Amino acid sequence: MGIAIVTGASSGIGLSVVQKLVDMGHTVYGFARDFGKTDFSHERFRPVICDMTDLAALEDRTKAILAEAGQLDILVNNAGVGYFGPHETLSPEKLREMTLTNLLAPMALTRMTLRPLRDTKGFVIFVASTAALYPGRFGSAYGATKAGLHQFALSLFDEVRKSGIRVVTLYPDMTRTRFYDRADFEPDADFECHIAPECVADAVEQVLNQRAGTVITQMVLRPQRIGVVKKRRDLTVT
Ligand SMILES: NC(=O)c1ccc[n+]([C@@H]2O[C@H](COP(=O)([O-])OP(=O)(O)OC[C@H]3O[C@@H](n4cnc5c(N)ncnc54)[C@H](OP(=O)(O)O)[C@@H]3O)[C@@H](O)[C@H]2O)c1
């Protein structure tokens, strides 16, 4: 079985993907800053403390993993953060954090892993968002980082497809995770109004199980119905 790196492995979509890959028999190195909130352990899950905005640390950790594992089969670029609101209210620090985490870090990590992925004809999977595809009022900067990732992935596939690397972008719509802890809105709890993180992990499994020679390059996951709930102000975490 293979070796995988999953970023943003401490919660939500990333943690579900970790569990799916471990179930499939892979050994998974998961990146995040804080695994204290993560109630999952397995002999084939290796948590790696890493702040994706620290590109030097990201490079060190990745080199160490590649040296230890000796190969890489799957990279899932999932870590991400979203700040929403009228654009003029977003501080430069928040813009910087979103751009580094959502766009620059995945581009840097992908660059470091292309050589080993070429050797295994492996997968690079990006967790973008429907925000990359459709306008989102009060989410223009977040959407810009995800649209950048979307365009990067499409062009990267054209660049590396001859070498056998599969490049995939997933576009989940509103998914019920801790992502909304900082926001003043969240997806409706009705199961038809949000995506479950496990559904994104199932999409990853589908992508990985595609026969060699065919690549699912893009997959959009949308809830059946639209449902967004405005949080009560006194409950909003800032
Ligand atoms: N939830 C949605 O509606 C939705 C929809 C479409 C796309 N997405 C995307 O899906 C991805 C996962 O989000 P989620 O919904 O699963 O949210 P989540 O539960 O908040 O998970 C985000 C993950 O990213 C990690 N992360 C954030 N900043 C980091 C940093 N600087 N360094 C290292 N790790 C960092 C977090 O770990 P630590 O905090 O422990 O570092 C956590 O593991 C994101 O890219 C998000 O943009 C989410």
Residues 6+ apart with CB under 8 A from 72: 3, 4, 5, 65, 66, 113, 116, 117, 120, 122
pTM over 0.85: yes
| pLDDT over threshold 80, residue 207 | yes
CA neighbor of 100 nearest in space, from 199, 175, 33, 21 = 33
Using CA positions, which residue lies closest to atom 43 of ligand 1?
8
Among protein residues, the one whose CA lies closest to atom 23 of ligand 1: 8
pLDDT tens-digit map of 102-113: 999 999 999 999
Residue 80 scores a pLDDT above 90: yes
**pLDDT above 70: residue 201:** yes
Task: Give the atom of ligand 1 at the shortest distance from the alpha carbon of 130.
Answer: 6
Would you say the CB of residue 106 lies under 6 angstroms from ligand 1? no
Amino acid, res. 192: E
Look at residue 238 in the predicted model and tell me its pLDDT: 44
Pocket of ligand 1 contains residue 16 by CB under 6 Å = no
Q: Report whether residue 8 contacts ligand 1, using a CB cutoff of 6 Å.
A: yes
Query: For all residues of the chain together, what is the average pLDDT?
Result: 96
CB-CB contact of 225 with 193 (8 Å): yes
pLDDT at 174 over 80: yes
Supply the DSSP string of 77-134, one letter for each residue. Answer: E-------S-GGGS-HHHHHHHHIIIIIHHHHHHHHHHHHHHHHT-EEEEE--GGGTS
Write down the pLDDT at residue 106. 98
pLDDT for the residue 74: 99
Helix/strand/coil for 229: strand
The protein residue whose alpha carbon is closest to atom 17 in ligand 1 is 179
Q: How far is the CA of 101 from the centre of ligand 1 (A)?
A: 9
Please tell me the distance from the alpha carbon of residue 4 to that of residue 123, in angstroms, as a whole number. Answer: 9
Span 79-90, average pLDDT: 98
Share of the chain above pLDDT 70, in %: 97
Flag whether pLDDT at 144 surpasses 60.
yes
pLDDT category of residue 232 using cuts at 50, 70 and 90:
confident
- pLDDT value at residue 233: 63
Which residue ranges make up each domain of the chain? Answer: 3-235
Q: What is the domain class of 3-235 according to CATH? A: alpha beta
Ligand 1 in reach of 47 Cβ (< 6 A): no
Compute the average pLDDT of residues 150-179.
98
What's the CA-to-centroid distance between 163 and ligand 1, angstroms? Answer: 30
